[in-house]
Amino acid sequence: MSTTPTADLALPITDPELEQRLRSRLAVIEKDLAGHTQSRSRFVTEAASHLLEAGGKRFRPLLVLLAAECGPDAGAPEVLTAASVVELTHQASLYHDDVMDEALLRRGENTANARFDNNVAILTGDFLFAKSSELTAQLGPDAVRIQAEAFSRLVEGQILEGISPEEGVDPVDHHLEVLAGKTGSLIATSARYGALFSGASPEIQDALVAYAEIVGVAFQLSDDILDIDSDSDESGKTPGTDLREGVPTLPVLLARRSADAGDARLLELLDSDLTDDAALAECVALLRAHPALAEARAYVQARAEEAKAALAPLSEGPVRAALEAFADAVAVRSV
């Protein structure tokens, strides 16, 4: 039996038989996704398949498949359809995200808004949402309700990201609510679908949903830490990118709580124009030395432990081991 996590799967799978099943089903899903982006118009097909062809980890469909292993019918057609549903929803949200962020690159390729224009990108995202809805309807009313609730939370999280916290709301709590909506909701739905359509018990479904919601937010919070503390050679991320763009991250929000007079320079920099390379470098250095970074890291590690604890109803075995290993990886990730 292999003891090394598979390098090119989004989740660390160490059981060869499980790995082979997941790879085989992912290959089917990949073909299905290519089919779902087809349109009567060649141009629409090109725009709709643009991000899919750029690659991606396919974490959400993989989580559907892995959660399905907890039920008696892991290979049910509905499981594969549900995997396409969550990936199409995710892809659609990326089109809209890139327009809102005025992003030019994703996965090393031009974004749809850069390659085409904003109108095409927005409408292509709508097209993919529609395709996802068509597939969800095939899965029945429960799936429609679950998808609608997740989509509502996703959009609400996206809206909240662009506004300041309401009066009396802790900025950290606001940030966590944004991430729970934008990321946690669809990842939790992925786990729910896999367990539901494979026939897993309600107890197992609830355990997987709780795990996925927590670990999804923790993964995004680890991105917050990487923005400050990453090694660009190892992670491929340029430290301070979010900081320069004024995007709230957990270490920054925690540092802003400081009443220490010694943090005056850091707080001054956080409120300044960080497009200047020297100012950005100084701010990153101060944040790396600040207790807020260690506090943020401890928070993510605690959430990873909480996610693993949620898996208690699952039997010991390769599925639970993979989910626990992923939570551990999130807590200490550098890429």
Instruction: Quick: pLDDT tens for 58-113.
Output: 999 999 999 999 999 999 999 999 999 999 999 999 888 887 777 777 767 778 78
| pLDDT the model gives residue 334 | 52
Q: How far apart are the first and last CA of the chain?
A: 27
Instruction: Quick: pLDDT tens for 155-164.
Output: 999 999 989 9
For the chain, which residues make up each domain, given as ranges?
A: 13-200, 201-334
Q: Which fold has domain 13-200?
A: Farnesyl Diphosphate Synthase (1.10.600)
Q: Which fold has domain 201-334?
A: Farnesyl Diphosphate Synthase (1.10.600)
Total count of residues recorded for the chain:
335
Same fold, 13-200 and 201-334: yes
Q: How far apart are CA 289 and CA 145, in angstroms?
A: 46
Q: How far apart are CA 264 and CA 97, in angstroms?
A: 34
Q: How far apart are CA 18 and CA 27, in angstroms?
A: 14
- Average pLDDT over the chain, rounded to whole? 91
In angstroms, how far apart are the furthest CA atoms of the chain? 64
Report if pTM > 0.85. Answer: yes
Contact 149, 234 (CB under 8 A): no
| pLDDT the model gives residue 5 | 38
Mean pLDDT of 116-122: 86
Secondary-structure breakdown of the chain: helix, strand, coil percentages, each rounded to the nearest 5 = 70, 0, 25
